[in-house]
Amino acid sequence: MLSFLVDWLNLLLRWAHFIIGIGWIGASFYFVWLDLSLRKREKMNPGVYGTSWMVHGGGFYHVEKYTVAPERLPEDLHWFVWEAYLTWLTGFCLLIVQYYLNASTYMIDPAVMPLEPWQAIAISIASLAAGWLLYDGLCRSPIGQKPALLGACVFVVICAAAFGFSHVFSGRAALIHVGALVGTMMAANVFMVIIPNQRKMTASLLAGEAPDPRLGQIGKQRSTHNNYLTLPVLLMMISGHYPMLYSHPETWLVVAFILVIGAMVRHYINRADAGDDFATYSWALLVAAIALVGAIYVTKPDDTPLSAGPVPSDTEMLAILDAHCVTCHAPDPAHESFDQPPGDVVLHTLSHLQRFGDIVIVQAVRGQAMPLGNESEMTRDERQALGAWIEANRQ
Ligand code: HEC
């Protein structure tokens, strides 16, 4: 009953997380587009930098941008902040419900590092905080003055985090932690830098002083990082559904490709929105395509024949399933975390193994996503035997 209610909590948090995330990212895409679509017009109000005309949902919209501020601030000025904060908050709660509450199943892989659940959770929280401090420190250091060098450093920090996580957590938890780390950096950019700077600037304007232009530049730098990190972070958040991504032994390499693909596609969209000449930014699409081919190549399945080893007898096969799969994949699972067989996959009989053969090969023979967290320490020979039996018993 409890795990059933926790499943509902998990579902509601996930639902809220992506609805609010759509709000945050949608607003961010919209404002980047809006900024790049501004044009100077013949007649503009004093202090206006440019305006944009849009049509949507049956009405026409005319937006004007003030680079500094209008003469008088309206009382109902809307701040876009809660989207970012609530996306982070629901994401962190989801991390607790999905990973921390089932740390031994989802976070820990004894073959990677035999941690206690509390140790895994402590490492997770500490690394999210440390990641932010390191990133923020880099931006504030002299490196922060050189945008290209800073970008390269942030790239290396994220790849290094992926390397670190993959030597501590299970593959799946490692990738989701890279996503959580990047998501934390992005939300903290809004909370700790972009909004406070904007508030300081607004306050000096209200006091009739000239705002410090550095505050605006710093905010802009952080928003540029957020802009380029949006697409990669989304992919990392759904990586848990794709064993080819998270069961790759070199997580950092997969992450490096995801960063390049996402950032380059974002760059392409930015420049296209700005109406630049296609020839000046088409290279970004080419780099993204090369990185995509690289990602597909490094995650390709190892195609050593499965049937090379001996085929186990039916009794031996059942014993392997009993030892490694049936605690979770049975009509009434004995495992404490599950009331129902996960993914509706049951493996308590050989005819079921035959039926689910293809996905079992993906999850447990070619990939090592199953048994989840490898709690039962399934060996290579057993995986080989599983594959050989499935190959030999195809219908
Ligand atoms: C500790 C519990 C646990 C054990 C043990 C376990 N699994 Fe799973 N299995 C899961 C969970 C949870 C999912 C759902 C994963 C998800 O939602 O991404 C799953 C999903 C699957 C899927 C479906 C994936 C899909 O594409 O939908 C297959 C196939 C599978 N497991 C095979 C196995 C095999 C084979 C074994 C034994 C070698 C095994 N599992 C052992 C928990 C377990």
Q: Which of 20-34, 74-88, 206-220 has the lowest mean pLDDT?
A: 206-220
Which pair of tokens denotes residue 390? 């499935």
**Among 345, 352, 360, residue to substitute to test ligand 1 (most atoms within 8 Å of Cβ):** 345
Atom of ligand 1 nearest to the CA of 105: 1
* CB contact set of 305 (below 8 Å; sequence gap of 6+): none
| pLDDT above 70: residue 307 | no
Can you tell me the distance from the alpha carbon of 131 to that of 42, in angstroms, rounded to the nearest whole number? 48
pLDDT per position as a tens digit, 63-77? 999 877 777 788 888
Which pair of tokens denotes residue 82? 């809660």
Query: How high is the pLDDT of residue 1?
Result: 78
360 lines ligand 1 (CB under 6 A): yes
**Residue with CA nearest ligand 1 atom 21:** 343
Mean pLDDT of the chain: 91
Query: How high is the pLDDT of residue 130?
Result: 97
Residue 300 vs residue 321, higher pLDDT: 321
385 lines ligand 1 (CB under 6 A): no
pLDDT per position as a tens digit, 230-277? 999 999 999 988 888 988 888 999 999 999 999 999 999 999 988 899
* Cα 47 to middle of ligand 1, angstroms: 60
Which amino acid, 169? F
195 phi/psi in degrees, rounded to 5 = -70, -50
Query: How high is the pLDDT of residue 303?
Result: 67
Q: Could you give the percent of the chain with pLDDT greater than 90?
A: 65
Query: How high is the pLDDT of residue 167?
Result: 95
pLDDT per position as a tens digit, 175-202? 999 999 999 999 999 999 999 999 998 8
Query: How high is the pLDDT of residue 306?
Result: 64
- In terms of Cβ atoms closer than 10 Å to its own Cβ (0-12, 13-18, 19+), residue 179 is buried
Whether residue 121 contacts residue 114, with contact meaning beta carbons closer than 8 Å, is answered with no
